Amino acid sequence: MAAKSAPKGPSQRQLRVGELVRHKLSEMLTRGEIYDEELQGFFVTIPEVRMSPDLKIATAFVMRLGGGEMDGVINALNRNRRYIRGEVAKAVALKFAPDVRFRPDDSFDEAMRIDELLETDRVRQDTRED
C-alpha cells in the first residue's frame, strides 16, 4: 500500500504570478489609482495574493494599516474589480486576465491570539525552565 504524500503547496509559477499581481495591486493603492470614496483617508496594503492552479483567480488578502473595519474597504475594492482586473492584465502577461477577489487578511489577528495564548499561566507553566 502506497503511503499518502503530504499535500502539495502552490507551484513556483503560482507564487511568481501571485507576487506580480500583489506588486501591481500595492502600486495601484499606493499611487491612489483606485478612486473610491471609501478608500480615501485609509492606508491599505496587500500582504499576500494566492493564485488558483490555473492562474485564472487571484485571491488578494487586504489589510487596513492601523486596524479597523474592513467591510467598507473590501466593498470599495469589489466595486472597482473591473478596472483593477484590466490594470493587472496590462502588468502581468498571461493568457487570461485573472479574476481578482478580495478577502480581509486576518493573519496578524491570529498571530496576536496565539501570542496571548502563549502568555497565559497554563501554557507558561509548561514552557518555563525549572
By three-state DSSP, how is residue 44 classified? strand
How many C-alpha atoms does 42 have within 13 Å on its Cβ side?
A: 25
Architecture of the 12-105 domain: 2-Layer Sandwich (3.30)
Residue-level pLDDT at 5: 62
The per-residue DSSP string of 45-80 comes to EEEEEEE-TTS-EEEEEEEETT----HHHHHHHHHT
Question: pTM for the complete prediction?
Answer: 0.75
Rounded Cα distance, 117 and 111, in Å:
10
**What is the distance in angstroms between the CA of the first residue and the CA of the last residue of the chain?**
46
Residue listed under C-alpha cell 483567480: 57
Rounded Cα distance, 100 and 77, in Å:
10
For the chain, which residues make up each domain, given as ranges?
12-105
Residue-level pLDDT at 27: 92
Q: Split the chain (130 residues) into runs of 10 and give each run's mean pLDDT.
A: 65 91 92 83 86 93 80 90 92 87 80 73 69
